[in-house]
Amino acid sequence: MDEQVLNKGKLSRSIVMIYFLVMTVVYPFYAPGGYMHIGEVKYEFFRTAGLIMAVAVTVVTLISLASHRDKEWFIRSCGQMSVTDWFAYGYLVAVMLSYLFSAYKEDALWGVDGWYMGVMTQIIFVLVYFVFSRYFHCDLRWLGIWMLSTAGVFMLGVCNRYSIYPIAMEGQTEVFISTLGNINWFCGYWSVTAAIGIVLYWCSDKRTVRVLAGIYSVIATITGVTQGSSSVYLVFIVIFLALFILSLNSNEKLYRFLELCMMFAVSCQIARFMQYLPGLEYNYMWHDESGKLVVAMVLIASNTTIWAFLVLLVCYVLFRILDRYGLFHIERHKWLWGIMTAAVTMVVVVAVIYLLIDNEILCFRDVPGTMEYDSYLEPFFDEDWGNGRGATWNCGIGAYGRLDVLHKIVGVGPDCFADYVYSVPELADRLAANFGNLRLTNAHSEQITLLVNVGVLGWVCYMGIFVSAFVRYMKRAGRQQVLYLCSIGILAYTVHNMVSFQQVLSTPFVFILLGIGERFYRCTTDEKRLHRQ
């Protein structure tokens, strides 16, 4: 009987690994018809592959249970549930309740055209997490295959940005890139996958792995700074800040962090040099609407990163020399580095606030006072910032505030943001004033959109998946370093989607990463349990 159970487990694992290869190698490049209907084509591929995988694994599991008459399977499975598992189950229940109480059941079931983030898609997300968390093969070489495929997607994006199109794509313009669609969709995919190689370089002890991860990191960095979406810099900041904090534990990790910073600077200069090669022409905007250089141009069209590289190189060499004579032990001075981290964080916060005010994103209006007090200045965000994100966020928050108590808990239905918002005349007028005839299907913030769509219950469960996974994986990452890749990748996606949205080219991959992390976490737990026995 044990051999039969083992064979069933191997069969389920094979199904999951085939799905992994299909999603990481085939899916990103699959774009018949070019960009004209890429959203629908990608969704149909994702839905079909996900349902086939889910049905196959479910059938194998049911046959195994029926053949062995395992009456205690459910009780045993509940006992093995992690906090993240419970949040995932809770999110599934919240999605079902949201659909049950939705007034827009057709859109809630399948999702609105072009986005398809309805109940069926949310169910597939959760199922992907669970099957990967139980059946993924714990071998880093599979992540190597993912990185190789992703590097190809990135390189296509870089070629497109420099006016080279190795793959003919119908509907090609400068806002579309690689085989993923517009730059927002591309950046969503990048936010999940870029961290894999960058963090692997930082944590790996094998020289060959570091060399390959270093090449991947350079490609990912060049892709990030040239692709055109500003949200990419949120991801860069959170990845490098996380790695800096983690590097305070050892000299070796700090050297790796400094090497990554220098690689970032070198990558920017490579992107700068590419503009002068024959046949290459950078084809995205150099200036914003006010005439100021965009961040990408500051990085790849000026000497800023050259000076940054030189400063980093001096620090790196100095630390190496002090370390050689036994005078540098970073772990002995964590308090000093902690103060420096806090200081740097404060400087970044102040700089961000200054930039918000300087670019008139954060404004102040005079509000009359009472008899006892003079007037005062009230801060508010310009609704035009971030391509209208100020307006979408305000409308999203306003929409949630207008819901009754029941729908504040369960939401208006998955992917029903537009159905509800445009049913409120005041909000519909505001959106029409900002976006004309364009129909807004989400708030361009995953968190705000979730609040409206699945309510506070769904929002808590969804965020609980990510927060619990990040905390748990980080705690175990010292013994299983691949968990660093998963936890920081999850963090990068979460931060990126503060200004972005769920879509079929990013969210499936973060649930795959969540499942992989849970699987490695469980493998480590099993090894620890066997060691104790």
Asked if residue 93 has pLDDT above 60, the reply is yes
Q: Is 8 exposed, middle or buried (0-12, 13-18, 19+ CB in 10 A)?
A: middle
For the segment 343-361, the average pLDDT, to the nearest whole number, is: 65
Confidence of residue 59 (pLDDT cuts 50, 70, 90): confident
In the predicted structure, residue 80 carries a pLDDT above the cut 80: no
Sequential DSSP letters for 170-189: TT--TTEETTTEEHHHHHHH
Q: In whole angstroms, what is the distance from residue 173 CA to residue 190 CA?
A: 20
Average pLDDT over residues 438-460: 90
> Among residues 230, 312, 227, which one has the least CA distance to residue 266?
312
Q: DSSP assignment, residue 372?
A: S
Question: What is the C-alpha separation between 300 and 226, in angstroms, rounded?
Answer: 8
- Per-residue pLDDT at 127 exceeds 90: yes
pLDDT of residue 257: 94
Write the CB contacts of 51 (distance below 8 Å, at least 6 apart in sequence). 124
- Average pLDDT over the chain reads 84
Q: How confident is the model at residue 133 (pLDDT cuts 50, 70, 90)?
A: very high
**For range 416-429, the mean pLDDT:** 88
Q: Is the pLDDT of residue 2 over 50?
A: no
Q: Do 396 and 452 form a contact (C-beta atoms < 8 A)?
A: yes
Residue 73 has pLDDT above 60, yes or no: no
| 230 — pLDDT class (breaks 50, 70, 90) | confident
**Residues 383-392: what's their mean pLDDT?**
62
Kindly tell me if the per-residue pLDDT of 528 is higher than 70: no
Tokens of 164: 């080279």
Listed in sequence order, the residues at least 6 apart from 452 whose beta carbon sits closer than 8 Å to its beta carbon are 396, 399, 400, 403, 411, 412, 417, 420, 421, 443
Alpha-carbon distance of 158 to 171, in angstroms, equals 18
DSSP string, 319-360: HHHHHHTT---GGGGHHHHHHHHHHHHHHHHHHHHHHHHHTT
pLDDT interval class at 129 (50, 70, 90): very high
pLDDT > 50? residue 530: no
Alpha-carbon gap, residue 214 to 210, rounded angstroms: 6
pLDDT of residue 533: 42
CB 189 within 8 A of CB 173: no
Q: Which two tokens stand for residue 373?
A: 């007090």
Residue 52 is encoded by which pair of tokens?
Answer: 């086939």
For the chain, the domains span 2-327+436-532
Q: If we measure between CA atoms, which residue out of 158, 152, 122, 160 comes closest to residue 35?
A: 160
| Residue 484 CB contacts under 8 Å (≥ 6 apart), including other chains | 199, 202, 203, 246, 473, 474, 477
Whether 409 has a pLDDT exceeding 50, the answer reads yes
Q: What is the pLDDT of residue 304?
A: 86
Q: Alpha helices, DSSP H only, in 69-206?
A: 73-79, 83-100, 105-110, 119-135, 140-161, 183-203
Contacts of 379 (CB under 8 A, 6+ apart): 362, 363, 364
Q: How far is CA 163 from CA 160, 303, 392, in A?
A: 5, 24, 32
Say which amino acid occupies 445. Answer: S
Mean pLDDT on 422-426: 87
For the segment 412-425, the average pLDDT, to the nearest whole number, is 90
Higher pLDDT, 114 or 160: 160
- Lowest model confidence (mean pLDDT) among 26-35, 238-247, 327-336, 478-487: 327-336
Q: Which residues lie below 8 Å from residue 24, measured CB to CB, with a gap of 6+?
A: 145, 146, 149, 150, 509, 512
pLDDT score recorded for residue 291: 46
Secondary structure (DSSP) of 292-328: PBPHHHHHHSSSHHHHHHHHHHHHHHHHHHHHHTT--
User: Chain-centre distance of CA 208, in angstroms?
Assistant: 27
Give the range with max mean pLDDT: 68-72, 197-201, 225-229: 197-201
Lowest-pLDDT choice from 84-98, 196-210, 390-404, 453-467: 390-404
pLDDT (0 to 100) of residue 278: 87
For residue 250, give the DSSP letter.
-
Name the pLDDT band for 474 (thresholds 50, 70, 90): very high
Q: What pLDDT band is residue 5 in, cutting at 50, 70 and 90?
A: very low
What is the pLDDT averaged over residues 232-250? Answer: 89
pLDDT, position 480: 87
Residue 3 has pLDDT above 50, yes or no: no
pLDDT at residue 265 greater than cutoff 70: yes
* Percentage, residues of the chain above pLDDT 70: 82
Please determine, for residue 212, whether its predicted confidence score (pLDDT) is greater than 90: yes
pLDDT, one tens digit per residue, over 287-333 is 555 545 567 777 888 888 899 999 999 999 998 898 888 777 776 76
- Calculate mean pLDDT across residues 129-151: 92
**DSSP class of residue 19?**
H
Say what percent of the chain tops pLDDT 90: 46
Mean pLDDT lowest for which of 209-223, 290-304, 407-421, 519-533? 519-533
- Answer with the residue of higher pLDDT: 191 or 60: 191
| pLDDT of 148 above 70 | yes
- pLDDT at res. 444: 86
3-class SS at 69?
coil
Confidence (pLDDT) at 354: 60
pLDDT at 360: 55
pLDDT tier, 496 (very low <50, low <70, confident <90, very high otherwise) = very high
DSSP 166: S
Task: List beta partners, residue 182.
Answer: 176
In the predicted structure, residue 452 carries a pLDDT above the cut 90: yes
pLDDT at residue 1, as a whole number: 37
- Under the banding of pLDDT at 50, 70 and 90, the label for residue 531 is very low
